[in-house]
Amino acid sequence: MFNMNRRAWGFDWHELITGILFIVVAFGLFTAPKVSAIAIALLMAIMAILSGLTTFAGYSKLRDYVNGRAVVALVFAVLDIIIGLIFLFDYQSAIVTLGYLFGIWFIFDSIERLIVVSHVRQLRSHFFWLSLILDVLGLIAGILLFVHPWIAFFSINILVVCYLVIFGINAIVLAFARR
């Protein structure tokens, strides 16, 4: 039965692609620290929308593993897309509230993944602990961004790079854990 569940899920290409894109964006932001706040807001809009769509794409399979808790992932996917649309269509407001919005986004994603991380234990238990640690680190980064938005605004580049690397590695870990 364990092997059947693993085969039913299959390798998660959406998570792999999302993880790689997050790491590529992180590298781009790290190598170009003078990227404007508008560019960061627009990049994050795309990444938030992509994150929400990735969760939608995996919802039915996730529901098979975690039952009712998958609804929480669906709610957070909608919130990801809403935050992404705010960043995309009202980038001036996004810039003014950048620290708070990034903090909320990071907190939403981390909580969603913490709620449904148990399915990774069913698939590959050694990936469970790595994913759990990365989710907690993402939550801490989100709380720091939310509690200190001005510090976040001035150091947003480094904080965003750190989060994107954490989220990217976690997405890649999940892609391989689900195979």
Question: Using one digit for the tens of pLDDT, what is the confidence trace for 145-168?
Answer: 888 877 666 677 777 788 889 889
Confidence of residue 107 (pLDDT cuts 50, 70, 90): very high
Query: Can you tell me the mean pLDDT for 87-109?
Result: 81
pTM to 2 decimal places: 0.56
Query: Can you tell me the mean pLDDT for 26-44?
Result: 76
Helix (H, G, I), strand (E, B) or coil at 35: coil
Residues 6+ apart with CB under 8 A from 152: 98, 99, 102, 103, 144, 145, 146, 159
> Whole-angstrom Cα distance, residue 129 to residue 139?
15
Contact 153, 100 (CB under 8 A): no
pLDDT at 1 over 50: no
Window from 15-29, 31-45, 68-82, 129-143 with minimum mean pLDDT = 31-45
Confidence of residue 64 (pLDDT cuts 50, 70, 90): confident
What is the amino acid identity at position 140?
A: I
> Angle, to 10 degrees, between the axis of helix 37-66 and the axis of helix 149-177?
40
